[in-house]
Chains A and B, each alone.
Chain A
Amino acid sequence: DVKVTQSSRYLVKRTGEKVFLECVQDMDHENMFWYRQDPGLGLRLIYFSYDVKMKEKGDIPEGYSVSREKKERFSLILESASTNQTSMYLCASSFPGASMLYTDTQYFGPGTRLTVL
Chain B
Amino acid sequence: GENVEQHPSTLSVQEGDSAVIKCTYSDSASNYFPWYKQELGKRPQLIIDIRSNVGEKKDQRIAVTLNKTAKHFSLHITETQPEDSAVYFCAAMKNHGDTGRRALTFGSGTRLQVQP
> Could you list which residues of chain A lie within 8 angstroms of chain B, going by C-beta atoms?
4, 31, 33, 35, 40-45, 48, 50, 56-59, 90, 96-98, 104-106, 108-111
Contact = CB atoms under 8 A, between A and B. Distances in A.
A83 B101 CA distance: 31
B97 A44 contact: no
Contacts of B108: 40-42
A31 B105 CA distance: 15
Contacts of B6: 42
Interface string B59-94: 000000000000000000000000000000101010
B66 to A, nearest CB: 15
Interface string B21-49: 00000000000101000000011111001
Contacts of A104: 32, 34, 49, 93, 102
Contacts of B46: 105-106
Given A40-B108, A110-B43, 10 more contacts: A31-B101, A42-B107, A43-B91, A45-B104, A90-B44, A98-B102, A104-B93, A105-B34, A105-B46, A108-B44
Nearest to B90: A42
A107 B91 CA distance: 14
A98 B89 CA distance: 24
Contacts of A111: 43
